[in-house]
Structure 1
Amino acid sequence: MKREPDGEALALAALIRDMSAATTAAELAGVFVRGAIDAHRLSWGGCYWRDAAARNLLPLAGGHARADALPALALDELDNPLVYSLTAAQPCRVEHLGTLVDVGEGFERLRERLPRRGVLHVTPLFDSSMRAAGVLAVMGGAEEVQAWLVSLPWQLLLQAYGQLLARLQQADPAARSEPAKPGQRERAGAGRLLAAEFIGVSPVARSVRNELQRLADSSLSLLLTGETGVGKDHAAWLIHQASSRQGRFVPVNCAAIPKDLIESELFGVVRGAYTGAAQAREGLVAAAHGGTLFLDEIGDMPLDLQGSLLRLLNEKKFRPLGASREQGSDFRLICATHRPLQELIRDGRFREDLYFRLRQQVLHLPPLRERKEDLPALAAHILLQFNREHHRNVMGLSERALALLQAHRFPGNVRELRSLLLVAAERTAPGGWISARALADLQSVPHGVTSAGDELELLRTLWGTNNLPEAMTLFERHLLSDRLRRAQGSRRLAAESLGIPKRTLAHKCQSHRLDVGERTT
């Protein structure tokens, strides 16, 4: 039975009075959590705050039970949803606790005190410096939790609660402890970065996060593999950011640079090296000194340049075009490819000795279809970024929209998901939820649904061809046309979904005569 409006107002007024009278952080947390549980018929609520050493989350309130009955949660348990919400500084939602396996000893002890059924929703709390310093966790039925989330008075009260809690916690001597050592701070910072930037709660996502942190501590060459759109470039950036290297992260797309320019782009040019070289230009290898050089689509590197790269890796020296002396550069090399390099080796298009030099370490990034549990978290993260960048307030996905996404195979992986959501968000009214219609309209040619006959006919044509160049041209035109329809004519979004520069897409559209009536944004 819901409260009458006057009764709810009186209850909120009484809660505000009791919160104002609280003299300790634990007292304030207890008042607020109990009020939230009673007002929205939630089954459980709890509040945790980070200790000064940044090692643990300590319990402040546990619903109607004593806070000291709850376990402390180590901040290195990055897959714990409470720790994840703190480190990522964004909400975390778990539909079924049974899906969380091997997420840390602290959470397993907490799970014993939680209801067996219900949605768990965790919200970060921020200190006076707007850094995430604590979390508020609630459990209940999906409707009850959703009602609490969309209640404007309670969300405003939650902001005030976080500020009051931070003030009382800062004034509490018992909350202070020995500061963390530099090495501990650096590792904790790397863990927070990975939790905030590599989104997901599935076992697959947790495994990748652990691998990213392990690889960040190494200086060996690394080869990233995986399908187009899985986020290989993002993983390379995360590894660099989580490492101790102080230099720049220098990305190079080997497929986007013309073959006759890639050598000068990598190694640089001295003045007068060739006609038109009016001034010297530093190469990307020199720019990566002290940092990380990321070679994306390494399988597209020209064969004659592969020998120069192998020598660079072995000797850490290179010679700019037109130079008489060699230069040195200390960098960590990360390469990525979606192509099978061993097949390229058999075809004579990739050097085997370079292949073994590149794959001192290998990390395979899984496709999105193998981590469908991460779709809600990924969607929430993408929409949070959209709202911040565009000053909008798209609430999230409707249940039918989420079901539609979960049924899709996502051949374009996370890049395709991002493209779909950005277009759908632009078409959603402020304060609204993305509908299934918004997503269905974008998929003018859903895979295996409305146009199975057309897709099958295309496949038969390609499979039965006796003209490979013609078949490749036909497939490329079909793919480009399909992506442009999905992106509502936006070349920028279509190019992002295909992992190619916008100018490359524009050139291909012109050659395929696909440029009529389409937006260039």
Structure 2
Amino acid sequence: MPRQLAPIEVARIARDMTWATHPDGLATVILRAAVDSGALRLGMCYRLDQTSDCLRPLSCVPEKASALPELDMGELDNPLVYGLVSGHPCTVEHIASMVGVGSTFERLRERFMPGDGAWILPLRDANQHAFAVLALLGNPSALHALRESALWQALLQIHERLFSGLEQNLGDAERARSADAVRAQAHTRTRERAARLLAAEFVGVSPAVRELRSDMLSMTDSNLAILITGETGAGKDHAAWLIHQAGSRQGKFVPVNCAAIPKDLIEAELFGNERGAFTGASQARAGLVAEADGGTLFLDEIGDMPLELQGRLLRVLNEKKYRPVGATQERHSNFRLICATHQPLPQRIAEGSFREDLYFRIRQQCLHVPALRERPEDIPVLAEHVLLQYNRERQAHIPGISAEALRMLQMHPLPGNVRELRNLVLVAAERTGRGQDITPQALRELRAPAPRTAALPTTSTMPLHDLWETNDLPGALAAFECHLISERLRQANGSRALAAQSLGIPKRTLARRCQRWNIFQEDSEP
């Protein structure tokens, strides 16, 4: 039976509870007093953790709270869980005899003694919502006496009010910390998902592509404008789409090809129009800027945008406001801008056909997609990826691409980059029998001579006298190198050793250059 508390002990208990600054310290005061009075053998306090849907140990006397297990809120037969869910006190005459309650209760039951009874007291806030429980264990007779004691009832009520007050005071800070933790976890999961998406969809194993994926990942949740540069077919539009897909914006990805829209219609296409604003405007249209609200506006071939429209676009970017053609009221659109071009915009600025202020506004972040000839090690994995998609979409069964065919693809200059590679593989797959690998023969039939740009030189692409007129220095240097190697091999009757010696480079270097420029002259040496 609990002994009678002296007035000085009651005053000390009340003082210590009042001085407590944290819920676990407050719970320890009341539990320690009950154990010391002989009313309890073991006292525990558990608090609800809503983020993980469990009861976490807060205090325990005479043991340490860290030794107690967490309790699953799904174990409704657990008297501690029941007490919190119901919001009412409950009594268990022989708690050690309870079996089949749940795995977390079984771990707690190890601390019960035969004959222990339990008195479960929910702790409620000012709105009478239970958020914690006291579990008082001991002799059933002693617990009965504790329940009947007016003094202990008063102390427990004081404890509940003080506990609720401390929780209220600490609640805002704890909820903020919990919310921060949840946001951090969500951000981590989002980044991991974005990284997986980029790795799966922007295919490549070269250092350049790995760096490119890393840059794309860092841009996914940025609101700054992005300018993507690279040759035609290199994958600029795909990179833009992936940046949007990997980000957190919930709106649409709205692509606009500035080179494909007639000059007199591009303004209405972007900003929309009122009915009757121009000939043929039989109805009002919202426009692509409005459609991109909350999402991403992708302006492909931005270098082809008419000069007079560039000023309006700059104002939209600065103010996020625009006015449809024929409208009197401005409208708002919150979009993230991604632009792409294969043109040298600084040169366009010098020519007066592109605004310098718009150029600096759209290139807050820059991303360059390298041409395939600069990363030939990516060609096999890209080709296999295209073939995998083909098999999946067409329900076909082309097992793979032969090693000889892959080498042929790597030697091909691929002026159309990924777009050309994809077309080569798809057409070759159509010409390949089911269950057979793509062979060099299937590719040779596709590689008919075609016009090429200066950046992709062959001996017939760029005559030497044209090099003086080009505006592409890297392409001119590459074309000259290709001409020089071909001519030197011709003079050496195909001997790579003699040609390399005359050029002052190792034979191995010459072989790599021949492979790069698709120079197939036979080596006259054994």
Q: TM-score range by the shorter chain?
A: 0.5 to 0.7
Instruction: Work out the CA distance in 2 between the residues paired with 1:354 and 1:433.
Output: 50
Task: Kindly report which structure 2 residues correspond to 1:17-36, keeping only aligned pairs within 5 A, or say none.
Answer: none
Cross-structure match for 2:304: 300
**Aligned-pair distance for 1:275?**
2.8
Instruction: Work out the CA distance in 2 between the residues paired with 1:373 and 1:196.
Output: 17
Cross-structure match for 1:205: 209
Cross-structure match for 1:383: 387
Task: Kindly report which structure 2 residues correspond to 1:348-367, keeping only aligned pairs within 5 A, or say none.
Answer: 348-367=352-371
Query: Relative to 1, partners in 2 of residues 1:294 and 1:454: Cα closer, same or farther, differing over 3 Å?
Result: closer
**Aligned-pair distance for 1:460?**
7.0
Is 1:322 the counterpart of 2:326? The answer is yes
Cross-structure match for 1:194: 198
Task: Confirm or deny: 8 A CA contact 2:372 2:414 kept in the other structure.
Answer: yes
Q: 1:226 aligns with which of 215, 221, 230?
A: 230
Query: Relative to 1, partners in 2 of residues 1:291 and 1:415: Cα closer, same or farther, differing over 3 Å?
Result: same
* TM-score w.r.t. length of structure 1: 0.52
Other structure's SS at 1:345 match: helix
Structure 1 gap segments, 5+ residues each: 1-177, 466-521
**Aligned-pair distance for 1:282?**
1.2
Cross-structure match for 1:426: 430
Cross-structure match for 2:378: 374
Instruction: Work out the CA distance in 2 between the residues paired with 1:453 and 1:274.
Output: 47
Other structure's SS at 1:366 match: coil
Cross-structure match for 2:66: none
**Aligned-pair distance for 1:454?**
10
Cross-structure match for 2:189: 185
Instruction: Work out the CA distance in 2 between the residues paired with 1:271 and 1:388.
Output: 45
Other structure's SS at 2:187 match: helix
Instruction: Work out the CA distance in 2 between the residues paired with 1:330 and 1:234.
Output: 22
Other structure's SS at 1:344 match: helix
**Aligned-pair distance for 1:439?**
0.6
CA offsets 1:116-168 (integer angstroms, 9 cap, x no match)? xxxxxxxxxxxxxxxxxxxxxxxxxxxxxxxxxxxxxxxxxxxxxxxxxxxxx
CA offsets 1:171-219 (integer angstroms, 9 cap, x no match)? xxxxxxx9x9322221111111111101012211111110110011211
Letter in 1 for 2:460: L
Is 1:256 the counterpart of 2:287? The answer is no
* TM-score w.r.t. length of structure 2: 0.52
Instruction: Work out the CA distance in 2 between the residues paired with 1:282 and 1:272.
Output: 14
Q: 2:219 aligns with which of 207, 215, 221?
A: 215
Task: Kindly report which structure 2 residues correspond to 1:331-342, keeping only aligned pairs within 5 A, or say none.
Answer: 331-342=335-346
Instruction: Work out the CA distance in 2 between the residues paired with 1:447 and 1:349.
Output: 27
Is 1:412 the counterpart of 2:416? The answer is yes
Q: 2:269 aligns with which of 256, 265, 268?
A: 265
Letter in 2 for 1:425: A
Task: Kindly report which structure 2 residues correspond to 1:390-401, keeping only aligned pairs within 5 A, or say none.
Answer: 390-401=394-405
Letter in 2 for 1:389: E
Structure 2 gap segments, 5+ residues each: 1-181, 470-526
Task: Kindly report which structure 2 residues correspond to 1:449-488, keeping only aligned pairs within 5 A, or say none.
Answer: 456=460, 459=463
Other structure's SS at 1:369 match: helix
Cross-structure match for 1:238: 242
Other structure's SS at 1:321 match: coil
Letter in 1 for 2:364: Q
Query: Relative to 1, partners in 2 of residues 1:460 and 1:369: Cα closer, same or farther, differing over 3 Å?
Result: closer
Query: Relative to 1, partners in 2 of residues 1:454 and 1:224: Cα closer, same or farther, differing over 3 Å?
Result: closer
Other structure's SS at 1:306 match: helix
Task: Confirm or deny: 8 A CA contact 2:451 2:461 kept in the other structure.
Answer: no
Is 1:344 the counterpart of 2:352? The answer is no
**Structure index of larger Rg:** 2
**Aligned-pair distance for 1:377?**
1.2
Is 1:283 the counterpart of 2:287? The answer is yes
Instruction: Work out the CA distance in 1 between the residues paired with 2:304 and 2:193.
Output: 35
Instruction: Work out the CA distance in 2 between the residues paired with 1:351 and 1:182.
Output: 40
Cross-structure match for 1:54: none
Instruction: Work out the CA distance in 1 between the residues paired with 2:457 and 2:373.
Output: 24
Q: Segments of 4+ in structure 1 off by > 3 A?
A: 452-455, 457-465
Give me the identity figure in percent.
62
**Aligned-pair distance for 1:426?**
0.5
Aligned residues: 284
Query: Relative to 1, partners in 2 of residues 1:409 and 1:337: Cα closer, same or farther, differing over 3 Å?
Result: same
Cross-structure match for 1:149: none
**Aligned-pair distance for 1:444?**
1.6
